[in-house]
Amino acid sequence: MIQTLVHGAGRMARRVLAQLPDRTDYQLLGLVSRTEPDADLAADPLAMAWYASLDEVKKSADLLIDFTLPGGTGTAAHWCADNGVAMLSGTTGLSDKDVEALKDAALKVPVLWAPNLSYGVTLMTALVQQAAAALGASANITITDLHHQHKVDAPSGTALALAAAVIEGRSERLEDLLDPQRLQNPPDDDAGELAFSSVREGEVIGEHSVRFELPDEVIEISHQALDRNVFAAGALKAGAWLVDQDPGYYTTSDWLGPSG
C-alpha cells in the first residue's frame, strides 16, 4: 500500500481525504496542516493523525500529496527530498523559489506538479498545442479562466499551462505576456496576440477556454469542471503512478500521455 501524507487542509485536500477510503492501494499516514483540523474533518472515519508541521512526522512515507499555499509547497519539496518521499503537488500561484525547490527535489525523488489534475484538461492542453502549431501567428488568442471568488492567483495555474502550450514553438516568452502593465492594457491589433482574461465570482469550480480568432472564423477549445472530485480522483491516480517512477520532474503529459 502507498503510505501517504496529505499536506494542507483546504478544499482540495479535503476532497482527497474523502476519496482515500475508496482506494485500497492507499493508506493514510496523516494530515499535515498548520492549524488543527476542525470538528468535521477530525471526525472523518479515517481517524487520521494530525501533524502541525512536517518536522513532526516520524513515520516512513511513500508519497506526499500537496494542496497547500505558496511557500508551503517549497517547504514540502525540501522535506520530501531529504526523506526520500515522492511528491505530488497541485498548489497554484507558486513563487520562483517554490518552483526551484520542486526542481531541486526532483533530482532525488519523483515530483509531479500540475495546476490541474483532471484528464480533460490534460487532453485540452494537447489540443491547444496542436491548434497553436497549425495556426502559427495568424490567430489572435485569448485564454479565459473563471473561478470562485476565493481564488487569489490570476491568471490561474491552468491558464498559464495553456499559455505555455500555445507559445511552444512560437517567439513569445511567458514572462513578457505576464507583465502587469500588459495584462491591464493588452494590445488588440497585432496578429498572433495572446491575452488573458480572468474572472472571479461566486463558487465556480473552474472553467477554461482558449479562443483562436482568425479573420473570418473563430476556433474555441474549452473545459468545465462540474465537481472538484475530478481533481481529487486525478491526484490519487497520478500519485499511484508517480511512486513507481525514477527521480525526475514530471507533468500530467508524462502521466497520461497525449493518447491517454
Note the pLDDT tens digit of each residue in 38-53.
756 544 544 578 999 9
Fold of 119-224: Dihydrodipicolinate Reductase; domain 2 (3.30.360)
Least confident piece of the model among 49-53, 184-188, 208-212: 184-188
Which is nearest to 212 in space by CA: 135, 98, 121? 135
Q: What is the mean pLDDT of residues 114-118?
A: 86
Q: How many residues does the chain have?
A: 260
Return the sign of the alpha-carbon dihedral for residues 167, 89, 203, 154: negative
Place of cell 495553456: 162
* CATH 3.40.50.970, domain 2-117+228-256, yes or no: no
Return the sign of the alpha-carbon dihedral for residues 128, 129, 135, 138: positive
Is 148 among the catalytic positions?
Answer: no
What pLDDT score does 63 carry?
98
Q: What is the mean pLDDT of residues 54-72?
A: 94
What pLDDT score does 42 carry?
47
Q: Phi-psi region for residue 202, left (φ > 0), alpha (ψ -120 to 50) or beta?
A: left
- State how far the Cα of 123 lies from the Cα of 234, in Å rounded to an integer: 13
C-alpha cell at 36: 488543527
Residue 4 neighbours by CB distance under 10 Å: 26
Within its chain, how far is the Cα of 39 from the centroid? 28
Q: Is the pLDDT of residue 191 over 70?
A: no
Residue 14 neighbours by CB distance under 10 Å: 20
The pTM (predicted TM-score) of the whole model is 0.75
If one compares 190 and 31, the residue with the highest pLDDT of the two is: 31
Q: What is the mean pLDDT of residues 105-122?
A: 92
Q: Catalytic one among 7, 58, 59, 147?
A: 147
Q: Is the pLDDT of residue 242 over 90?
A: yes
Within its chain, how far is the Cα of 185 from the centroid? 27
Q: Is the pLDDT of residue 152 over 80?
A: no
Return the sign of the alpha-carbon dihedral for residues 82, 86, 90, 96: positive
- State how far the Cα of 118 lies from the Cα of 224, in Å rounded to an integer: 10
- pLDDT category at 203 given cuts 50, 70, 90 is confident
Q: Is the pLDDT of residue 111 over 70?
A: yes
Mean of per-residue pLDDT scores for the chain: 86
- CB contact at 8 A, 191 and 198: no
Q: What is the mean pLDDT of residues 48-67?
A: 94
Q: Catalytic one among 78, 108, 151, 237?
A: 151
What lies within 8 Å, CB to CB, of 199 at 6+ separation is 144, 145, 146, 147
* Backbone Cα Rg of the chain: 19
If one compares 80 and 229, the residue with the highest pLDDT of the two is: 80
- State how far the Cα of 191 lies from the Cα of 222, in Å rounded to an integer: 22
- CB contact at 8 A, 249 and 103: yes
Name the residue ranges covered by the structural domains of the chain.
2-117+228-256, 119-224
